[in-house]
């Protein structure tokens, strides 16, 4: 009888482990949607193969945050001819990148993996307008 109890307990432990799945906060787990990223007045979300919103207007001195809410690796890279040059590292799921815009103007950016550089860029790209 004790060996049956041990076997039954082992089965329960294995079944419990198979039926449970957790994801650390901000890991991009959960599938679908925007991975918990919500666009705001200073935050751009990377969802699928696009930025959301694609254009943002901020005041000079504002720091913009890009948040990768998808499981796909992305980047945030200033477009050719930009007066403000930046290039994020590769951003995995849940990763963020920040850049502060200090000078008024229109700034185009794109994802090195899913956009095409140009002024303005095409594909996965966006625009920040600084007043």
Angle at 39 between CA 68 and CA 44, to 5 degrees: 50
DSSP bridge partners of 66? 44, 97
> How do residues 66-108 score in pLDDT, each as one tens digit?
999 999 999 999 999 998 999 999 999 999 999 999 999 999 9
* Domain carrying residue 110: 34-130
At residue 122, does pLDDT exceed 90? yes
pLDDT classification of 3: cutoffs 50, 70, 90: low
- What CATH code is carried by the domain that includes residue 89? 2.60.40.420
Query: Model confidence at 2, in pLDDT bands (50, 70, 90)?
Result: low
Domain annotation covers residue 14: no
Cα(31)–Cα(89) distance, rounded to whole angstroms?
Answer: 23
How many domains would you assign to the chain?
1
* Listed residue (28, 26, 53, 34) closest to 42, CA to CA: 53
Asked if 61 contacts 100 with a C-beta cutoff of 8 angstroms, the reply is: yes
The answer on pLDDT for 14 being more than 70 is no
Residue 43 dihedral angles phi and psi, to the nearest 5°:
-125, 130
CA quadruple 7, 8, 11, 13: dihedral, nearest 10: -110
Residue at 13 is within a domain: no
Mean pLDDT of 11-33: 34
Confirm whether 25 is domain-assigned: no
């Amino acid at each position: 009888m004790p060996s049956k109890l041990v076997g039954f307990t082992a089965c329960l432990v294995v079944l419990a482990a198979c039926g449970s799945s957790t994801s650390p906060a901000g890991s991009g787990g959960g599938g679908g949607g925007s991975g918990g990223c919500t666009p705001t007045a200073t935050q751009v979300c990377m969802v699928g193969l696009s930025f959301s919103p694609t254009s943002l207007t901020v005041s000079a001195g504002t720091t913009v945050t890009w948040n990768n809410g998808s499981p796909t690796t992305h980047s945030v890279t200033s477009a050719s001819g930009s007066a403000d040059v930046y290039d994020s590292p590769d951003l995995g799921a849940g990763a963020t990148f920040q850049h502060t815009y200090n000078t008024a103007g229109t700034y185009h950016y794109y994802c090195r993996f899913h956009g095409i550089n140009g002024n303005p860029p095409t594909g996965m790209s966006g625009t920040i307008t600084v007043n």
